[in-house]
Amino acid sequence: MTDIVITGIGAFTPLGADAPTTWEGLLAGRNGVAPLTEDWAADLPVRFAAHTAADPLEHLDRVAARRLDRSAQLALIAGLEAWRDAGLGLGDDNPVDHERLGVTCASGIGGLQTTLFQWDIQKEKGPRRVSPFTVPMLMANAPAANLGLRIGARAGVHTPVSACASSNEAIALAVDMMRLGRADIVLAGGTEAVIHALPINAFAQMNALSRRNDDPQHASRPWDVDRDGFVLGEGACLLVLETLEHATARGAHIYGTLAGAGISADSYDIVQPDPSGHGQSSAMERALRNSGLSASDIRHVNAHGTSTPAGDVTEAHSIRRALGDAADQVIVTSTKSMTGHLLGGAGSLETFAALMAINSRQVPATINIENLEPDLPIDVATTVRDLPDGDLAAINNSFGFGGHNVAVVVSNAHQSRGLAS
């Protein structure tokens, strides 16, 4: 089996404008959630969210930015950070064989802010005023396509769409591309930017969002008995994945190994997770098989853990079912307690968090837990927890509306660098 390693990381998130600041924030328990003070939020049933920590326009060329939906802006910043972090350049400084270079960059929803903004313009100012860039901005594959253009990817540029599992699916697809021999190096991850009155209200109408308007910073509280829904976040995270052979040949530094991925579908309900958790467990079991690892190799799980009343408990039982007695030695956390839920950006951000946890041997706390749900069959980290010496592997779960389940496994095999190096 072809070993796949992670050689570059980039993140533009509610906790920071880059990957190191984001990881530092996760370990420090920093809170990315804040009230929405904009006029458009005044009448909404939910008036808080987790915006990116910085304005993307301060990180992009003005002309380039005006042709990109916010979701693509965030992806471009994070993707190019990852690319530079892997020691790679652009144009003449890009040593990679373009025919062997791919991109998989997911989005759960696509360029919705562009769609809504341009529709407002058409209604208010007439058809002639709609931007000719509307279609290339709103299409869900625009973040992937723009990244592909910048780094010169010709092995294939893909945008998996599976709601909140999308960017884990992008990582799974990247692994398949390399193991099937279609690429040697893939920029993989996802992005989302839908903090806007319509999607917030639409999620609220489903009763999916927390309504803790009087105390937003404590709203995302996975496994706390008083959790009442997820908190919408935005951001992007991209990883440079490459075959071990390719990374070694060019002398790349290695954060760890992308050991494998597992995918399943509930086929149960369009939005409710199957309460049996069967599909979730299957995804984790398939991810272990795909990785050539066993349950006893796993020491950490970055859970989907969105802070919904039903979902968190179902996942806890799914983890126990998938790992069996080996779950006793697994520390589970939900970093969504700090970042909110990035939807199509969640999978890659949390795969990054799981990678850094085993890379640094520290699991971030799940913040905001005042009263832990009783009788959980898992060990939830309510403080930062140390991982043991030796070989480590971790699972990152992402589950999406539509019944999509994707588990990704990372390990510290081949690790040659940490964040500071």
**Would you name the residues annotated as active-site residues?**
164, 304, 341
Least distance from another protein to the Cβ atom of residue 132, Å: 4
Which one, 120 or 215, has the nearer CB to another protein? 120
Which one, 130 or 197, has the nearer CB to another protein? 130
Least distance from another protein to the Cβ atom of residue 64, Å: 9
Least distance from another protein to the Cβ atom of residue 142, Å: 13
Nearest one of 275, 272, 374, 388 to 321, comparing CA atoms = 275
Q: Is 364 exposed, middle or buried (0-12, 13-18, 19+ CB in 10 A)?
A: buried
**Cα→Cα distances 256→119, 344, 418, Å:** 45, 23, 9
Least distance from another protein to the Cβ atom of residue 133, Å: 6
Phi and psi based region of residue 85 (left: phi greater than 0; alpha: psi -120 to 50; beta: remaining): alpha
Query: Residue 220 and residue 158: Cα distance in Å, rounded?
Result: 31
Token pair listed for 74: 């965030």
Query: Residue 407 and residue 191: Cα distance in Å, rounded?
Result: 18
Q: Which residues contact 217 (CB under 8 A, 6 or more apart)?
A: 31, 33, 34, 368
**Distance from the first to the final alpha carbon of the chain:** 29
Classified as helix, coil or strand, 97 is coil
Which one, 95 or 128, has the nearer CB to another protein? 128
Which one, 132 or 390, has the nearer CB to another protein? 132
Query: Residue 95 and residue 287: Cα distance in Å, rounded?
Result: 32
Query: Residue 299 and residue 392: Cα distance in Å, rounded?
Result: 6
Least distance from another protein to the Cβ atom of residue 62, Å: 7
Token pair listed for 326: 């080996």
Long-range contacts of 388-391, Cβ-Cβ distance < 8 Å, separation of 24 or more: 388/299, 388/361, 389/361, 391/297
**Cα→Cα distances 324→28, 66, 406, 421, Å:** 31, 51, 19, 37
Residue ranges in contact with another protein by CB under 8 A = 61-63, 66, 128-129, 131-133, 136
Which one, 117 or 401, has the nearer CB to another protein? 117
Total Cβ atoms within 10 A of residue 321: 18
Which one, 123 or 128, has the nearer CB to another protein? 128
**Cα→Cα distances 359→8, 197, 382, 398, Å:** 13, 39, 20, 21
Query: Residue 241 and residue 257: Cα distance in Å, rounded?
Result: 9
Least distance from another protein to the Cβ atom of residue 130, Å: 9
Least distance from another protein to the Cβ atom of residue 129, Å: 7
Token pair listed for 377: 């069959």
Least distance from another protein to the Cβ atom of residue 148, Å: 18
